[in-house]
């Protein structure tokens, strides 16, 4: 994986790529710059970043429920760079979380997900059944 560590700059590059594919997006809610919606296709996208050496993400249970209101919803997990992303349909992530029996933290209401590489490929330690390799840099699925 590439070693870019400036979260704001990398997220901006991701949004530029997404907007080249989808067209103009807008914030879903004013206070969240990491969550945008493309109104024409009813596509919701959340971009979350983790340094490549730490690959740890918080995914809010509330966010996953709100994303369900859009016809299409994706979470973009950036692993240190816009060139190293996993674009996961949120419905698929929700199903794997449910199947795994994960429980959101009582304090924050989120799921803690750690990206790991093992003999099967890339997955979240907490959801080994979700093979992330098939989502690696799959910007095309946003079309």
pLDDT in tens, 13-67: 999 999 999 999 999 888 888 999 999 999 999 999 998 877 899 999 998 988 8
In angstroms, how far is the first alpha carbon of the chain from the final one?
25
> Does residue 66 fall inside a structural domain?
yes
Q: What three-state secondary structure class fits 53?
A: coil
- Residue found under tokens 């996993």: 86
- Give the residue among 52, 43, 22, 37 at the shortest CA–CA distance from 89: 43
pLDDT in tens, 61-110: 998 988 878 899 999 999 999 999 999 999 999 999 999 999 999 999 99
The residue segments making up the domain with residue 54 are: 7-142
Exposed, middle or buried: residue 114 (CB in 10 Å: 0-12, 13-18, 19+)? middle
> Does residue 1 fall inside a structural domain?
no
> Does residue 114 fall inside a structural domain?
yes
User: What is the chain's Cα-based Rg?
Assistant: 14
Rounded to whole angstroms, the Cα distance separating 20 from 15 reads 9
Run of H or E including 143: none
2 pLDDT above the threshold of 50:
no
| Residues ≥6 apart with Cβ < 8 Å to 11 | 34, 47, 49, 78, 82
> Does residue 2 fall inside a structural domain?
no
Which pLDDT band, with edges at 50, 70 and 90, does 5 fall under?
low
pTM: 0.91
> Does residue 124 fall inside a structural domain?
yes
The CATH number of whichever domain residue 123 belongs to comes to 3.40.210
> Does residue 110 fall inside a structural domain?
yes
Q: How many domains does the chain have?
A: 1
């Amino acid at each position: 994986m590439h070693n870019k560590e400036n979260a704001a700059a990398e997220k901006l590059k991701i949004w530029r790529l997404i907007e080249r594919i989808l067209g103009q997006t807008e914030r879903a809610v004013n206070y969240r710059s990491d969550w945008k919606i493309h109104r024409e296709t009813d596509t919701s996208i959340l971009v979350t970043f983790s340094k490549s050496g730490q690959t740890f993400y918080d995914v809010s249970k509330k966010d996953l429920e709100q994303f369900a209101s859009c016809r299409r919803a994706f979470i973009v997990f950036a692993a240190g760079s816009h060139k190293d992303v996993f674009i996961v349909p949120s419905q698929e992530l929700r199903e794997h979380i449910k199947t795994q029996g994960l429980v959101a933290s009582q304090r924050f209401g989120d799921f803690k997900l750690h990206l790991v590489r093992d003999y099967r490929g890339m997955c979240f330690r907490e959801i080994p059944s979700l093979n992330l390799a098939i989502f690696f840099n799959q910007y095309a699925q946003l079309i």
